[in-house]
Structure 1
Amino acid sequence: MKDAETATIELFRERRLVFLRVLMRRLGNLEEAEEVLQEAFINFDRAAKKETISNPDGYLMKIALNLAVDRIRKDASRRRREDSWFDANSAGRIGAQYIAAAPQQDQALIAKQEMAQLAACLEELSENVRGAFILHKMKGLPHSETAEILGLSQSTVEKHIMKAMRHVTANMAED
């Protein structure tokens, strides 16, 4: 058992940066890449103690990539939940009537007023928070593209969007 542990430590020392680069490309975030790599090494170590692994590099890479895919799916699922929560909690206040194909004149006036109210509400936010909200919620860009356009991390963009959503929801509900 000691040999398996020594081999795992050596593999970690020798190949850590290679695996970390691959995971960073996949996840786009150093912290997440390090967390996934740590978890992959723990899983690898458990497996190495139970059985002989003929291709340690390949086995560890497979574990790491599977964990990265799981994390990406979990993040996407979380974002979908946040988006649906926002849509469900703000559709009436932000103007579901904008979706209507041919709104009546009074509905068009209400929609115009609500859009002006939304614009005024967004003006109260910082440029980056407002930009993240507009690019993601109104233009439909994914968090990654929004982050790239604004020159921010994806995590920061997600936080800005949530801040804007809370602000818009609270302010549109008041009126």
Structure 2
Amino acid sequence: MLLHPENSKLVVTLVYHYDELVNYVKRHFGDQHFAQDVVHDVCIEIMERPLGQPVNTPMAFLRQLSRNRAIDRYRQQQTQQSHVHSMQDTLAQTHEVDGERVLHFVQRLEALKRIIEALPPRQQQVFLLHRLHEMPQQEIADALGISRNMVTQHFTKAMATIQRAWGAQA
């Protein structure tokens, strides 16, 4: 993969200041692994998407991009946890459901969560925005700075992977 020269400078800056960026995210969000995942997401984003204009202050740009990705990831995790807890609460309140069925449902839900978390970052992002947040594909394309066709491709690949993995677990 050949990087745009401006993106190459940012990747070099990111690699050189990796620990500093991880610590920056960790200070705001409190978790080392979360911070590392965010900085990795930023690196992938820089490598996949050319910048539209030159970056005069690479560290400030990387910090802001890292903070934005951290906020996105944090919101995504909170939404997932909220849905899982909501489903668990609903099941716990249903008197006619026996414990074995509840356990089976929770296990299947956790398996689905692991499958989604194992998707490549862009596929995961598109899948969650479309399915969980119910965003139209054009809005996703605009938000991610990619074409609607790429959104469709990422979503289709995510669905195929989920269906394949889900079928293998059945």
Q: TM-score, normalised on structure 2?
A: 0.46
Largest Rg, 1 or 2: 1
Q: TM-score, normalised on structure 1?
A: 0.45
